[in-house]
Each structure stands twice: as C-alpha cells, then as structure tokens.
A = this chain, B = another copy of it.
Amino acid sequence: MNTITTAQAAQFLMEHDDFLILTHVRPDGDTIGCAAGLCHALRRAGKTAHVLENPGATSLFTGYLEGLTTPNGEGNRTVVSVDIAARSLFPDNAQVFLDRVDLAIDHHPSQEFFARATCLNSGKASCGEVVLEVVKEFTSLTPDIGRALYVALSTDCGCFQYSNTDAAAHRAAAELMETGFDPYPINRVHFRTKTFKRLKLEGLLAQGMELRDNGATALVFLTQRMIQELGADERDMDNISAFVGQVEGVKNGVTLKETAGGHVKISLRTDPGDLNASAVCALLGGGGHAAASGAMMKGTVEAVRQAVIDAIEQVRNG
C-alpha cells in the first residue's frame, strides 16, 4: 500500500486534471459532502472536475451535487474516491473503476488500500475533515466548500453528538462555518426534520423493539412487509440504525433490515467500552468501527437475529 500525506495528496491533485470523484454505495452525508467539497475546491483551483452520479443518492443529498455530476466517467482521467473503505462499497456504475482509482481519501481504519495512493487519517471523525486538510493545501475555502464539508462532518458525527466527536471536529466545524454559509437549514433538514412515513416507521420499530441484557442491548426489526405497507423509500429509512440507540439505558443497538433480495442488513452501534462493534460484525462477515459496524447476511430476520445475538455473546465471552 502506498499511503501519502495530505500535502502529498494536494500536490498530486495540482499535478493532474480532469477529475472523476467516486462516492460509496448507499451514499451518506460524508461521502456526498466530501465529493461536493472536493469538486468545488478543484474547480476553484482551475481544474476540470466531476462527481460520478450515484444512483443511490436520495433527495436529502442530491442538492449538494447540483451542477457537479457526470453520468459516466468517459473522458475523465484522474479518479479519486472519497470515504470509500472497501471494494465492496463501489456502486454498480463505478465498478469499472475498481482497479483505476488514482487517489483514495478516507478515514476508515478498515480501508482496503485499493487505490494507487491513499490519503488516510483514521483519527478523524469524518472523511470531510481529511478532505478539508487536503483542500486547504491548494486553495482557500468558499461558502460552497464550507457547506459541503460541514454536511460531511456534521452528518458523520451525528451533529456533534456521537462518541467520535472530538475537539478537532469542533475546530473543523468552526473553520467551515467561518466561510459564511448558513448551517441552520442544514441542521434542520438533517437533524430536526422527519418525513411522515419515517415517524410511522419509528413507531413500528418502537413497538417491536426487543430489550436484552437488562436493557443494555436493544434490537429492532425492519421487515420488507413494514416497508411495503408504509410505502417507505430509502429517504424514509436513512440512518435508521441510529434510532435504537436513543432508548434510555441502551448501550448496544442492533438494527436488522430485511432487503428485497432475501438478505438482512445488520447494523450495530455500541458503547465501545462495553462492546466492540467491529469485532462482532467481523464474526458476521462485515466490519467497520469499534462504535459502529455493519454486515450483510443471507437468511430470515429470525435466523440473522440469532446469529447476531450469538456473535455478541462470543465477543463478550472471548
């Protein structure tokens, strides 16, 4: 693997042109915000840059990419991925670039080093902060860059509420806010507003919630039947895995979401002092961070539920 510093990443970007920026499958605020922020910064530095369209981007995020996307990578020569930790996280339309990524910018400890060069800072709460460090090496910040990277940072640390939030995250937020964009509408949309269907979905999750370990562990179940009866779409279910962790006394929250294809997506958020989420999900074929990890398994929700409970037991007793 070839890891490079933020200064080296900036130098690489300045020595190249015609950029195509890739985001990960089921895109969240961090990958979208990073792509938008980097694209704005590269254009400001006089470069040609586009973000590859991500078909999975919901209306919550597509606005940040307005005027920045391209439907395909033709004619683009320099490929940069942002917030993509693994080959399995490339969207379908980005598969063609699997072995053609020139630079990966990331913050995941589980980074697979699929790119020719990787700028990784796993100490950062968000990839947005890594992109911020890179961007500052070659241009000054604008409100557009500030807004995009604020979306990346704030969504990945739950608006400064998650355990990954550190002093550096707050300092980065201050620096971004000083570019002059208005963060309030962003906070309102991403942290204070829910769709009607989302509220109904949360109601169903609350009613089906299973509490274990004297209330320290909670499991919620999101089935295809619930999704179809409500007519809920991806946006209604965005970041649904954070829901279960709200319950008073719950340290470890498990969300099991049945996919249309007969798989169950496991999402585990833990108090890392109590349980290492990454270790549990590794036993289930997945991975991630100590406080937030995931895995995907084939089978019924009931079977996967038992597998998750067993994996938690195994990590606790191991």
Contact = CB atoms under 8 A, between A and B. Distances in A.
> Interface size bucket, A side?
35 or more
Contacts of A211: 196
Number of copies: 2
Contacts of A174: 167-168, 170-171, 174
Interface stretch (A72-80, A90-98, A197-205): A197-205
The winner among A165, A206, A209, A215 for most chain B CB atoms within 10 A is A206
| Interface of A: prevailing SS | helix
A106 to B, nearest CB: 23
Contacts of A195: 247-248
Interface string A163-202: 1011110110111011000011001100111111001101
A187 B165 CA distance: 10
B248 A196 contact: yes
A297 to B, nearest CB: 26
Contacts of A203: 202-207
A160 interface: yes
B178 A167 contact: yes
Interface in A2-35: none
A123 to B, nearest CB: 15
Contact of A192 (B171, B187, B245): B245
A212 to B, nearest CB: 12
A161 interface: yes
A62 to B, nearest CB: 16
Contact of A202 (B159, B167, B170, B206): B206
B194 A165 contact: no
A306 interface: no
A166 B183 CA distance: 9
A228 interface: no
A177 B167 contact: yes
A39 to B, nearest CB: 24
Nearest to A272: B184
Interface string A238-251: 00000001111100
A204 B171 CA distance: 40
Contacts of A206: 196, 199-200, 202-203
A200 B209 CA distance: 9
Contacts of A171: 170-171, 174
Contacts of A161: 159, 187-188, 191-192
Contact of A183 (B165, B188, B249): B165
A202 B162 CA distance: 23
A49 to B, nearest CB: 27
Interface in A125-167: 154, 158-163, 165-167
Given A161-B192, A199-B209, A203-B206, 10 more contacts: A160-B160, A163-B184, A165-B183, A165-B187, A167-B174, A195-B248, A196-B211, A200-B206, A202-B202, A202-B206
